[in-house]
Structure 1
Amino acid sequence: MACASCSTKDGQPKGCKNNGTCGTDSCNKLTVFDWLSNMSLPSGEKPFNWVEVRYKNGRKEYYYNPDNLTLSIGDIVATQAKAGHDIGMVTLAGELVRVQMKRKNIAQDTKEGLKIYRKATQKDIDIWQKARDREEPMKVKARQFAIDLNLSMKISDIEFQGDASKATFYYTAEERVDFRELIKVFAREFRTRIEMKQVGFRQEASRLGGIGSCGRELCCSTWLTDFRSVSTSAARYQQLSLNPQKLAGQCGKLKCCLNYELDTYLDALKDFPKSDTKLYTEKGTAVCQKTDIFKRHMWFAYEGEWATWHKLTTDQVLEIIDINKNKEKIASLEDYASELAEDTKAEFENVVGQDSLTRFDSPKPKRKRKNNRNKKNNNRNRNKRKPQNNKNAAKK
């Protein structure tokens, strides 16, 4: 399977230079590059006998290889399941699997771990492929059954087990759903064992993919693998407008990117006074109206004079707070704000490289001149005709 996005041919990447698994799998966030594959093990050290196997919807599991099968990335294998067997693809083998299992806190217990039965035969692959072909028409029927039963849920996807003995229905729902009657309908219609599994809205958006408001592909469908909780306080710290239409992603939840720069904002706000801080002056009490985190400026306004703001630096605000702690007042904020007086007059330059943006427009004054010239010409012609008429009258 060659990668279409980077124009690979015969497994040789040309565009992305990934040098990973383009020959056996497409480029996606689930593909892992085994950077330890070219390193030989020390003498007497046995290779790690666990492999990573991937299934549909990004599901990954780790299996023990008891028969010491020679497995490489891209091999289709038959793995142990709770009942029967499943078919998946090997995505990682060797020492890097040990690192992944340790990172995910997966016990390397051979007794409790699932095992790999064999490399998949052609018969196994044919049964698996026929089951995969049934998933899409089944999903259409399943959604209609859920609508007929008036269940507030959405069937997101269906995944068959490799031996076609069980079908897992993935669904999303806002609240808890009683789907006991729905399972009976599914079992009667599809003639197979049914398992219902609820997934979050973020996981569904990750599976479907799309383009975000930034113009790029969704982070969850390209590189983001862990979904951390996002709260509205992240938008407040970054001084974003609490508009749900702008803060929500395609999943309907708050955007994951709100957490990307949150730590930087929190570190910068450590040196800032609290926004509810009041400054006491002889002219009156001033309240904070606005904060500029990048330029470290704060705007204050006197109570009763909300239209007039005074810009101060954070150091000046902290200095005034220290003075107020000693039960003293400053004269006014104008004494501090005058030091930050700036010329706000904007000077525009011609960055287009042309003299006038209206050079193709026909100016109206020219049209008026033409009309005036026509009037003058008409008056001259009239004056010329009048003397001729007088001469003819005299001759008569």
Structure 2
Amino acid sequence: MACASCSTKDGQPKGCKNNGTCGTDSCNKLTVFDWLSNMSLPNGEKPFNWVEVRYKNGRKEYYHNTENLTLSIGDIVATQAQSGHDIGMVTLTGELVRVQMKRKSVPENIEEALKIYRKASQKDIDIWSAARDKEEPMKVKARQFAIDLNLQMKISDIEFQGDASKATFYYTAEDRVDFRELIKVFAREFRTRIEMKQVGFRQEAARLGGIGSCGRELCCSTWLTDFRSVSTSAARYQQLSLNPQKLAGQCGKLKCCLNYELDTYMDALKSFPKTDIKLQTEKGTAVCQKTDIFKGHLWYAYEGEWMNWHKITTEQANEIIELNNKNKKVASLEEFASNVIEDTKAEFENVVGQDSLTRFDGPKRSKKRKTNKNRNNRNKNRKRKPQKTNNDPK
């Protein structure tokens, strides 16, 4: 994925030259395209004085532009924090900020709203960049300190405040962790204020990003904003094998994509009879063994004859169940299964529109045929060669 400033021109990549911070904010996750940027406001209307600012790993906050600064997407600004100031990048301005705030339930009229101080100076940017460079070596040391104290936690990321006065440590843990001693070690080693923030395993994967088993970027790090709970019943309804290695994502939890098609499967299963209902026939009692949601087929086997399965449709199964509810029995499942004809013939079509991928290749000649041809040529040359005659007089 690349925006207009990063696309290629004359076969050469251009790049926005922002060293990982896109100036147009089109290469970052959870971005919003400002389609109102080229439109002017009606007469007498004032622009919306709230701004969306992005920080590390896609974290976004909304600030009140009380100074009426002229801001555009890509500007580096100094924003208000609990103590000191933070440095971030403007990602959205104008009326679309009002829509985003309403979608995320952020109130507009509050007295304690955070404000934008000014546009960041070069000194602010230098301090911010120097603090960002310290984060990776600090994370290595912090993990080692947690291991030395035998704490069951994982420090996934560190984020410095823009003025380098505070460092936020993001961690994941299964249970509650007593990290009071760890904070003392961090403060003594790193010489800064420490804040510990626990995140879920899905939030951790969203912050770090990665490539999923489908070959695409993780949904949680690109477009997914709400993390709904995923249970194993979603895999059972879709008839997936309950293999933890295949069903789990990079966060170690069940994949969020198991919920994408679950509603469609649930609607399709409404016409299917319950699998625990047994079919009563004169030949015996049949138990459901397998279902095919896409084709609408069910496989039943008689009790005691578990190796012989009989395939019927959902309509036929519902018909037999209705007869059983009226205390009636059908003769056997064979008379219903014989009506289900399965077409096992596979027909392949040329979807590419080409006869063969090797149609331009020259025909290969066998070595045996070439050898026989050379031998025949040698025999012909021997016959054509004139014989010597003795014309000397006696």
In structure 2, what is the equivalent of residue 117 of structure 1?
117
**Secondary structure in 2 aligned to 1:63?**
strand
**Secondary structure in 2 aligned to 1:53?**
strand
1:189 maps to a residue whose letter is E
**Secondary structure in 2 aligned to 1:289?**
strand
**Secondary structure in 1 aligned to 2:37?**
coil
User: Structure 1's 343 and 143: CA in aligned 2 closer, same or farther, altered over 3 A?
Assistant: closer
1:297 maps to a residue whose letter is H
208-217 or 51-60: which moved more? 208-217
Determine whether 1:138 maps to 2:161.
Answer: no
Once residues 100 and 208 of structure 1 are traced to their aligned partners in structure 2, the CA distance between those partners, rounded to angstroms, is 23
In structure 2, what is the equivalent of residue 178 of structure 1?
178
Once residues 218 and 6 of structure 2 are traced to their aligned partners in structure 1, the CA distance between those partners, rounded to angstroms, is 19
Is the 2:77–2:116 Cα contact (8 Å) retained in structure 1? Answer: yes
Once residues 119 and 343 of structure 1 are traced to their aligned partners in structure 2, the CA distance between those partners, rounded to angstroms, is 70
**Secondary structure in 2 aligned to 1:270?**
helix
In structure 1, what is the equivalent of residue 389 of structure 2?
none
User: Structure 1's 340 and 24: CA in aligned 2 closer, same or farther, altered over 3 A?
Assistant: closer
In structure 2, what is the equivalent of residue 323 of structure 1?
323
Long gaps (5+) in structure 2: 16-20, 359-363, 369-394
**Secondary structure in 2 aligned to 1:311?**
strand
**Secondary structure in 1 aligned to 2:338?**
helix
In structure 2, what is the equivalent of residue 67 of structure 1?
67
Is the 2:28–2:58 Cα contact (8 Å) retained in structure 1? Answer: no
Question: What is the CA deviation profile of residues 103-139 of structure 1, one whole-angstrom value per residue up to 9, with x for unaligned ones?
Answer: 1111112412111111111121121112112111111
The alpha-carbon deviation at position 210 of structure 1 amounts to: 2.6
In structure 2, what is the equivalent of residue 384 of structure 1?
none
User: Structure 1's 269 and 31: CA in aligned 2 closer, same or farther, altered over 3 A?
Assistant: same
Determine whether 1:57 maps to 2:57.
Answer: yes
**Secondary structure in 1 aligned to 2:97?**
helix
User: Structure 1's 149 and 36: CA in aligned 2 closer, same or farther, altered over 3 A?
Assistant: same
Is the 2:211–2:218 Cα contact (8 Å) retained in structure 1? Answer: yes
User: Structure 1's 283 and 39: CA in aligned 2 closer, same or farther, altered over 3 A?
Assistant: same
**Secondary structure in 1 aligned to 2:169?**
strand
In structure 1, what is the equivalent of residue 380 of structure 2?
none
Tell me the C-alpha RMSD between the 2 structures.
Answer: 2.7
Question: What is the CA deviation profile of residues 264-284 of structure 1, one whole-angstrom value per residue up to 9, with x for unaligned ones?
Answer: 111111111111111111111
Is the 1:273–1:314 Cα contact (8 Å) retained in structure 2? Answer: yes
Once residues 87 and 217 of structure 2 are traced to their aligned partners in structure 1, the CA distance between those partners, rounded to angstroms, is 30
User: Structure 1's 61 and 280: CA in aligned 2 closer, same or farther, altered over 3 A?
Assistant: same
**Secondary structure in 1 aligned to 2:323?**
helix
User: Structure 1's 336 and 6: CA in aligned 2 closer, same or farther, altered over 3 A?
Assistant: farther
Is the 1:281–1:333 Cα contact (8 Å) retained in structure 2? Answer: yes
Once residues 61 and 345 of structure 1 are traced to their aligned partners in structure 2, the CA distance between those partners, rounded to angstroms, is 59
1:1-396 matched pairs, under 5 angstroms = 7=7, 23-25=23-25, 27-342=27-342, 344=344
Is the 1:8–1:22 Cα contact (8 Å) retained in structure 2? Answer: no
**Secondary structure in 1 aligned to 2:339?**
helix
Once residues 357 and 46 of structure 2 are traced to their aligned partners in structure 1, the CA distance between those partners, rounded to angstroms, is 70
User: Structure 1's 349 and 105: CA in aligned 2 closer, same or farther, altered over 3 A?
Assistant: closer
Is the 2:75–2:89 Cα contact (8 Å) retained in structure 1? Answer: yes
User: Structure 1's 272 and 213: CA in aligned 2 closer, same or farther, altered over 3 A?
Assistant: same
The alpha-carbon deviation at position 35 of structure 1 amounts to: 1.1
The alpha-carbon deviation at position 223 of structure 1 amounts to: 2.7
User: Structure 1's 266 and 349: CA in aligned 2 closer, same or farther, altered over 3 A?
Assistant: closer
Once residues 245 and 217 of structure 2 are traced to their aligned partners in structure 1, the CA distance between those partners, rounded to angstroms, is 19
1:330 maps to a residue whose letter is V
User: Structure 1's 247 and 266: CA in aligned 2 closer, same or farther, altered over 3 A?
Assistant: same
1:83 maps to a residue whose letter is S
Question: What is the CA deviation profile of residues 230-286 of structure 1, one whole-angstrom value per residue up to 9, with x for unaligned ones?
Answer: 111110000001010111112111111111111111111111111111111111111
Question: What is the CA deviation profile of residues 151-199 of structure 1, one whole-angstrom value per residue up to 9, with x for unaligned ones?
Answer: 1111111111111111100111122111000000011111111000111
The alpha-carbon deviation at position 25 of structure 1 amounts to: 3.8
TM-score (normalizing by structure 2): 0.82
**Secondary structure in 1 aligned to 2:271?**
coil
TM-score (normalizing by structure 1): 0.82
Once residues 331 and 325 of structure 1 are traced to their aligned partners in structure 2, the CA distance between those partners, rounded to angstroms, is 16
1:181 maps to a residue whose letter is E
Once residues 147 and 349 of structure 2 are traced to their aligned partners in structure 1, the CA distance between those partners, rounded to angstroms, is 62
Is the 2:278–2:286 Cα contact (8 Å) retained in structure 1? Answer: yes
Percent of residue pairs identical:
85
User: Structure 1's 348 and 8: CA in aligned 2 closer, same or farther, altered over 3 A?
Assistant: closer
Once residues 332 and 123 of structure 1 are traced to their aligned partners in structure 2, the CA distance between those partners, rounded to angstroms, is 86
Is the 2:23–2:73 Cα contact (8 Å) retained in structure 1? Answer: no
Once residues 22 and 183 of structure 1 are traced to their aligned partners in structure 2, the CA distance between those partners, rounded to angstroms, is 34
Once residues 269 and 129 of structure 1 are traced to their aligned partners in structure 2, the CA distance between those partners, rounded to angstroms, is 56
Matched residues, number:
349
Long gaps (5+) in structure 1: 16-20, 355-359, 367-396
2:197 maps to a residue whose letter is K
